[in-house]
């Protein structure tokens, strides 16, 4: 065990610190809700307890896959894309004649993640935005059903971009080549991205609950306030500064990147909220107790992952 800790995936103490912090937060939250439940049995804690249990499962699976075996991480993230794509396309009302094209869209998922695994940047960056953009409409045309075909073309490509292309940037972080003096590597970058994205959601929710008065876009997301947005942005940027050892960036760069993660996370959240409001659903699924569907939890990552990846790629690689 000691050899694994010092020579294996835990050889970077920074990773250990962040992992300990994540589980420390979960332990604190679990104990807090247990104590509140004992003091006030009438407190309505069912939903928040269910959310905490879900976070335990997700944190354990994600961290275990990331730090022990990188290959498992590619598969795990690809599976997230698969479930998210399935959740979204099942809500968007595709035509019966779109089934064959949807099959090819599913086939694109393992191809995209294999390109990420290979670290083949040129192919990775054009496969879905260019190749599938050209292939899927042709497959729809071959079916011969032109009624509603324009809508199907747009929805199918957009769904692929959101749930597969955006999320797959998380996997590609693990394929970035090593930089001299940067020991955290792709694991550190991935941990930085996911932790900051999720803590941004928490901070914006917390500040909004405590001080929220002025709505940003009440017709799309009534709970989003300027106070929550600004408070979350500031906290996420500060936290990113203290976690800069997980990245190869300079202090100024990591502050800017952390700020952009907070902003992109907010955008991803409200974009998905607008879609659910248009469709008339509260959640995209029920696969995660207390959280809804997988896409409900990774909607922010669909925006933060490509933003973070390309900023880091440009600045450091």
Please give the DSSP secondary-structure letter assigned to residue 284: S
Per run of 10 residues, the mean pLDDT along the chain (length 317 residues) is: 44 70 79 78 65 69 70 90 94 93 97 98 98 97 95 96 97 93 88 88 82 90 91 94 94 98 95 91 74 81 97 96
74 Cα distance to chain centroid: 14
In contact, 84 and 287? CB cutoff 8 Å? no
Residue 10's pLDDT is what? 47
Domain assignments of the chain as residue spans, ordered by start: 2-316
Residue 290's pLDDT is what? 56
Query: How far is the C-alpha of 197 from the C-alpha of 127, rounded, in Å?
Result: 26
Please give the DSSP secondary-structure letter assigned to residue 178: P
**Which ranges constitute the DSSP H helices of the chain?**
2-7, 13-39, 46-68, 70-91, 99-118, 121-126, 133-143, 149-160, 166-173, 185-211, 226-242, 251-279, 294-298, 301-316
Residue 2's pLDDT is what? 43
Residue 44's pLDDT is what? 61
């Amino acid at each position: 065990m000691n050899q694994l800790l010092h020579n294996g995936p835990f050889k970077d103490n920074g990773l250990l610190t962040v992992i300990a912090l994540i589980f420390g937060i979960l332990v604190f939250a679990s104990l807090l809700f247990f104590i509140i439940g004992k003091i006030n049995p009438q407190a309505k804690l069912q939903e928040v307890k269910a959310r905490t249990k879900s976070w335990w499962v997700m944190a354990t699976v994600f961290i275990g896959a990331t730090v022990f075996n990188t290959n498992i991480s590619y598969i795990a993230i690809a599976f997230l894309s698969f479930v998210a794509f399935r959740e979204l396309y099942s809500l968007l009302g595709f035509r019966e004649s779109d089934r064959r094209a949807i099959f090819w869209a599913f086939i694109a998922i393992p191809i995209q993640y294999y390109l990420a695994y290979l670290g083949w940047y040129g192919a990775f960056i054009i496969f879905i935005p260019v190749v599938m953009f050209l292939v899927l409409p042709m497959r729809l045309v071959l079916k011969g059903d032109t009624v509603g075909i324009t809508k199907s073309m747009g929805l199918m490509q957009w769904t692929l971009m959101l749930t597969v292309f955006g999320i797959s940037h998380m996997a590609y972080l693990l394929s970035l080549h090593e930089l001299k003096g940067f020991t955290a590597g792709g694991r550190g970058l991935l941990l930085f991205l996911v932790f900051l994205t999720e803590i941004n959601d928490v901070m914006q929710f917390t500040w909004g609950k405590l001080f929220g008065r002025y709505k940003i876009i009440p017709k799309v997301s009534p709970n989003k306030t300027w106070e929550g947005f600004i408070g979350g942005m500031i906290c996420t940027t500060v936290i990113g500064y203290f976690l800069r050892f997980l990245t190869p960036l300079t202090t100024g760069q990591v502050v800017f990147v952390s700020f952009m993660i907070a902003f992109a996370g907010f955008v991803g959240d409200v974009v998905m909220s607008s879609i659910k409001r248009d469709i008339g659903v509260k959640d995209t699924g029920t696969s995660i107790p207390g959280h809804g569907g997988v896409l409900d939890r990774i909607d922010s990552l669909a925006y933060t992952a490509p933003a973070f990846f390309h900023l880091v790629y440009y600045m450091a690689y």
